[in-house]
Amino acid sequence: MHETVCNLVSGHCSPHRPIFNDIGYIINATMTAQDASDAINSLSDQERYTLLKHQFLPTPNYEFRSKLQYGRNRRCSRDFNKLYPWLVYSDKLDSVFCIHCALFAKSRQQLSQLVNIPFNNWSKFKEKMDSHAKHSYHKESLAESKAFESKIGPTKHNIAKDHKSRTSTEGPGEQKNFTPCYCCSAFLCKAMHWFTRN
Protein backbone atom coordinates (compact mmCIF):
# COMPACT_ATOMS: atom_id res chain seq x y z
CA MET A 1 0.00 0.00 0.00
CA HIS A 2 2.76 2.44 0.92
CA GLU A 3 4.59 1.78 -2.32
CA THR A 4 1.44 2.30 -4.37
CA VAL A 5 0.63 5.66 -2.81
CA CYS A 6 4.24 6.83 -3.19
CA ASN A 7 4.16 5.94 -6.88
CA LEU A 8 0.90 7.80 -7.33
CA VAL A 9 2.20 10.94 -5.70
CA SER A 10 5.40 10.85 -7.74
CA GLY A 11 3.29 10.62 -10.91
CA HIS A 12 4.52 7.18 -12.01
CA CYS A 13 1.10 5.85 -12.93
CA SER A 14 0.28 3.24 -15.52
CA PRO A 15 -3.16 2.58 -17.04
CA HIS A 16 -5.70 0.78 -14.87
CA ARG A 17 -4.03 1.48 -11.50
CA PRO A 18 -5.73 3.68 -8.88
CA ILE A 19 -5.00 7.38 -8.77
CA PHE A 20 -6.32 9.76 -6.17
CA ASN A 21 -7.52 12.48 -8.60
CA ASP A 22 -10.10 10.15 -10.14
CA ILE A 23 -13.74 10.89 -9.33
CA GLY A 24 -14.45 7.20 -9.77
CA TYR A 25 -13.15 6.77 -6.22
CA ILE A 26 -15.80 9.20 -4.96
CA ILE A 27 -18.85 8.13 -6.97
CA ASN A 28 -19.52 4.67 -8.37
CA ALA A 29 -22.27 2.78 -10.17
CA THR A 30 -23.68 1.12 -7.04
CA MET A 31 -24.44 4.35 -5.15
CA THR A 32 -27.85 5.89 -4.67
CA ALA A 33 -28.33 9.57 -5.45
CA GLN A 34 -28.16 10.26 -1.71
CA ASP A 35 -24.94 8.27 -1.38
CA ALA A 36 -23.37 10.27 -4.20
CA SER A 37 -24.54 13.53 -2.67
CA ASP A 38 -23.12 12.58 0.73
CA ALA A 39 -19.80 11.58 -0.84
CA ILE A 40 -19.48 14.89 -2.66
CA ASN A 41 -20.53 16.92 0.37
CA SER A 42 -17.84 15.22 2.45
CA LEU A 43 -15.10 16.68 0.24
CA SER A 44 -13.16 19.71 1.34
CA ASP A 45 -12.88 22.71 -0.98
CA GLN A 46 -9.32 21.75 -1.87
CA GLU A 47 -10.39 18.20 -2.69
CA ARG A 48 -13.13 19.51 -4.98
CA TYR A 49 -10.71 21.88 -6.60
CA THR A 50 -8.29 19.05 -7.30
CA LEU A 51 -11.03 16.98 -8.95
CA LEU A 52 -12.27 20.01 -10.88
CA LYS A 53 -8.90 21.18 -12.20
CA HIS A 54 -6.64 18.13 -11.97
CA GLN A 55 -8.86 15.15 -12.68
CA PHE A 56 -7.09 12.22 -14.35
CA LEU A 57 -6.53 12.87 -18.05
CA PRO A 58 -5.56 9.95 -20.31
CA THR A 59 -2.25 10.38 -22.10
CA PRO A 60 -2.08 10.24 -25.93
CA ASN A 61 -0.98 6.59 -25.79
CA TYR A 62 -3.47 5.55 -23.11
CA GLU A 63 -5.31 2.36 -24.05
CA PHE A 64 -9.02 2.67 -23.39
CA ARG A 65 -10.65 -0.62 -22.47
CA SER A 66 -13.15 -2.03 -24.93
CA LYS A 67 -16.40 -3.75 -24.08
CA LEU A 68 -18.97 -5.60 -26.13
CA GLN A 69 -22.04 -3.42 -26.69
CA TYR A 70 -24.77 -4.19 -29.20
CA GLY A 71 -22.64 -6.82 -30.93
CA ARG A 72 -19.52 -4.65 -31.32
CA ASN A 73 -16.46 -3.85 -29.25
CA ARG A 74 -16.69 -0.22 -28.25
CA ARG A 75 -14.61 2.11 -26.11
CA CYS A 76 -14.46 5.70 -24.96
CA SER A 77 -13.62 8.19 -27.69
CA ARG A 78 -10.06 9.52 -27.45
CA ASP A 79 -11.41 13.00 -28.21
CA PHE A 80 -14.10 12.84 -25.53
CA ASN A 81 -13.10 16.09 -23.79
CA LYS A 82 -12.33 17.98 -26.97
CA LEU A 83 -15.92 17.64 -28.05
CA TYR A 84 -17.26 18.10 -24.52
CA PRO A 85 -14.74 19.95 -22.31
CA TRP A 86 -16.82 19.36 -19.18
CA LEU A 87 -16.35 15.58 -19.43
CA VAL A 88 -13.79 13.72 -17.35
CA TYR A 89 -12.74 10.10 -17.67
CA SER A 90 -12.45 7.76 -14.69
CA ASP A 91 -9.67 5.24 -15.09
CA LYS A 92 -11.07 3.22 -12.19
CA LEU A 93 -14.53 2.86 -13.71
CA ASP A 94 -13.74 3.15 -17.44
CA SER A 95 -16.54 5.71 -17.56
CA VAL A 96 -17.13 9.42 -17.92
CA PHE A 97 -18.77 12.06 -15.75
CA CYS A 98 -19.75 15.67 -16.23
CA ILE A 99 -17.33 17.01 -13.64
CA HIS A 100 -19.33 20.20 -13.03
CA CYS A 101 -22.61 18.38 -12.44
CA ALA A 102 -20.96 15.61 -10.42
CA LEU A 103 -19.42 18.16 -8.07
CA PHE A 104 -21.98 20.98 -8.02
CA ALA A 105 -25.46 19.80 -9.06
CA LYS A 106 -27.90 20.98 -6.40
CA SER A 107 -31.07 18.96 -6.96
CA ARG A 108 -29.48 15.64 -7.83
CA GLN A 109 -32.04 13.20 -6.46
CA GLN A 110 -33.64 12.68 -9.87
CA LEU A 111 -30.38 12.71 -11.80
CA SER A 112 -28.44 9.64 -12.86
CA GLN A 113 -25.78 9.13 -15.53
CA LEU A 114 -22.93 11.62 -15.72
CA VAL A 115 -23.89 13.05 -12.33
CA ASN A 116 -24.68 10.38 -9.72
CA ILE A 117 -23.53 7.34 -11.65
CA PRO A 118 -20.89 6.86 -14.36
CA PHE A 119 -21.69 6.72 -18.07
CA ASN A 120 -20.08 4.12 -20.34
CA ASN A 121 -22.67 3.26 -22.96
CA TRP A 122 -20.31 4.24 -25.77
CA SER A 123 -22.78 3.42 -28.53
CA LYS A 124 -25.01 6.24 -27.23
CA PHE A 125 -22.14 8.63 -26.42
CA LYS A 126 -22.89 11.61 -28.67
CA GLU A 127 -26.63 11.34 -28.18
CA LYS A 128 -26.26 11.39 -24.39
CA MET A 129 -23.72 14.22 -24.30
CA ASP A 130 -25.71 16.47 -26.61
CA SER A 131 -28.80 15.88 -24.50
CA HIS A 132 -26.97 16.50 -21.22
CA ALA A 133 -25.55 19.82 -22.42
CA LYS A 134 -29.06 21.21 -22.97
CA HIS A 135 -30.37 20.61 -19.44
CA SER A 136 -30.85 23.58 -17.15
CA TYR A 137 -29.17 21.78 -14.23
CA HIS A 138 -26.04 21.39 -16.36
CA LYS A 139 -25.93 25.12 -17.08
CA GLU A 140 -26.54 25.90 -13.41
CA SER A 141 -23.74 23.53 -12.39
CA LEU A 142 -21.37 25.23 -14.83
CA ALA A 143 -22.14 28.57 -13.18
CA GLU A 144 -21.64 27.10 -9.69
CA SER A 145 -18.35 25.59 -10.80
CA LYS A 146 -17.12 28.89 -12.18
CA ALA A 147 -18.04 30.72 -8.98
CA PHE A 148 -16.32 28.05 -6.91
CA GLU A 149 -13.15 28.28 -8.98
CA SER A 150 -13.10 32.04 -8.55
CA LYS A 151 -13.38 31.60 -4.79
CA ILE A 152 -10.74 28.90 -4.47
CA GLY A 153 -8.34 30.17 -7.11
CA PRO A 154 -6.73 32.85 -4.89
CA THR A 155 -5.83 30.12 -2.36
CA LYS A 156 -3.75 28.36 -4.97
CA HIS A 157 -2.23 31.67 -6.02
CA ASN A 158 -1.28 32.52 -2.47
CA ILE A 159 0.41 29.14 -1.97
CA ALA A 160 2.49 29.61 -5.10
CA LYS A 161 3.26 33.19 -4.06
CA ASP A 162 4.32 32.01 -0.62
CA HIS A 163 6.56 29.38 -2.18
CA LYS A 164 8.23 32.01 -4.38
CA SER A 165 8.79 34.23 -1.36
CA ARG A 166 10.27 31.38 0.67
CA THR A 167 12.57 30.11 -2.06
CA SER A 168 13.95 33.62 -2.53
CA THR A 169 14.95 33.89 1.13
CA GLU A 170 15.83 30.31 2.12
CA GLY A 171 19.04 28.47 1.34
CA PRO A 172 19.11 25.55 -1.08
CA GLY A 173 19.02 23.04 1.75
CA GLU A 174 15.84 24.57 3.13
CA GLN A 175 13.90 24.96 -0.10
CA LYS A 176 13.52 21.25 -0.66
CA ASN A 177 11.48 20.92 2.53
CA PHE A 178 8.61 22.96 1.11
CA THR A 179 6.42 21.70 -1.71
CA PRO A 180 3.65 24.02 -2.99
CA CYS A 181 0.65 21.73 -3.34
CA TYR A 182 -3.03 22.62 -3.22
CA CYS A 183 -3.89 18.92 -3.37
CA CYS A 184 -3.92 18.75 0.40
CA SER A 185 -2.65 15.87 2.48
CA ALA A 186 -6.13 15.25 3.86
CA PHE A 187 -7.23 14.22 0.38
CA LEU A 188 -4.38 11.74 0.14
CA CYS A 189 -5.31 10.24 3.48
CA LYS A 190 -8.91 9.88 2.35
CA ALA A 191 -7.71 8.34 -0.91
CA MET A 192 -5.73 5.74 1.00
CA HIS A 193 -8.92 4.83 2.83
CA TRP A 194 -10.80 4.48 -0.47
CA PHE A 195 -8.03 2.30 -1.93
CA THR A 196 -8.17 -0.15 0.95
CA ARG A 197 -11.96 -0.13 0.98
CA ASN A 198 -12.22 -0.83 -2.74
Domain range holding 110?
2-197
Q: What is the pLDDT confidence band of residue 153, given thresholds at 50, 70 and 90? A: confident
**What's residue 53's pLDDT?**
93
| C-alpha Rg value of the chain to the nearest Å | 18
**What's residue 68's pLDDT?**
86
Q: Dihedrals φ, ψ of 69, to 5°?
A: -135, 125
How many distinct structural domains can be found in the chain? 1
Q: What is the mean pLDDT of the chain?
A: 76
> What gap in Å lies between CA 198 and CA 192, rounded to an integer?
10
Is residue 55 over pLDDT 70? yes
Report the pLDDT averaged over residues 102-119. Answer: 93
Q: Please check whether residue 183 is in contact with residue 50, taking contact to mean a CB–CB distance below 8 angstroms.
A: yes
Which residue, among 78, 26, 43, has the nearest Cα to 57 in the 3D structure? 78
> What gap in Å lies between CA 158 and CA 91, rounded to an integer?
31
Q: Please check whether residue 136 is in contact with residue 118, taking contact to mean a CB–CB distance below 8 angstroms.
A: no
Is residue 65 over pLDDT 50? yes
